[in-house]
Amino acid sequence: SQQGSIKSSIKRIGVSIQYNGLSFCGWQRQKGHLSIQGVLEEAIEKLDPYRPVKLIAAGRTDSGVHAAGQVAHFDVSGHIPAIRWASALNGRLPESIVIRESVCRPNDWHACHSAIYRRYRYTIYNGCNPNIFLTPWSWHKYRFRLDEELMKEALDGLLGFHDFSAFQRAGSTRSHSWTTIQDVHLQRKGDLIILDIQASGFLYGMVRLIVGQLVVIGEHKLSLEDFEYRWKNCQRDQIKEAAPSQGLSLIRVGYP
């Protein structure tokens, strides 16, 4: 009867998370490495020891990638109110991870499968001199002033439902490489070039490979025509440039 009582009291908690990804191997738990998922699951288990904890995220960010608006869910059977989970966890987490909000969600709600979009931002620092405050959060490209107008034109051409296998790193477990890029935005603010890209889902390494190509275009080393031919003809072997992880952040996940 005690097991039945615990089962009936199980509730699903949704959380909004920020993290600095520099010291982590990525979101997903990996044996022998420090992961965002691993640190969070250990903190949750200390507060709700009645059942094994599985934390499901909207997107599995790679090693070194940040998040300003990651979303995840977990099931608990204890008596902590949903809105109290954020403060309870923050008291047990390192400074590099913060729970912004915690809410109760229906038991059939899923942080990953219920999402209708993910939005990533990539920041390029295009100034001549290093900036210690920007280094952890951007890619410093200083040799050339990048042509953001060409980069924007190339990015706009990616909109829509396409086979993006040219921008998929090896090791992906997806059954196919088709997805929909819903929105893109690129602008320069002084020495900063800020790129936002929103899609229904992203392939493994997709954003960093796209940004790597855009930078080569911005340096006038790759034409728009060659870029379009590469990705539309799925020429993964021709796409060798990948942007470093520290400039990338998951900024928002959208739900109906």
Catalytic residues: 62
Beta bridge partners of 254: 117
Best CA proximity match to 61, nearest among 86, 32, 91, 40: 40
- Compute CA distances 226 → 154, 168, 184, 214, 230, whole Å: 10, 18, 20, 12, 6
User: Distance between CA atoms of 199 and 120, rounded to whole angstroms?
Assistant: 9
Query: Which letter does DSSP use for residue 241 in this model?
Result: -
How many residues are there in the chain? 256
Neighbours of 75 (CB within 10 A): 17
Residue 66 identity (one-letter amino acid): H
Q: Where are the alpha helices (DSSP H) in 29-81?
A: 36-47
- Contact between residue 212 and residue 155 where contact means Cβ atoms under 8 Å apart: no
What is the phi/psi pair of residue 35, to 5°?
-125, 155
Which DSSP state fits 21? G
How far is the C-alpha of 221 from the C-alpha of 200, rounded, in Å? Answer: 30
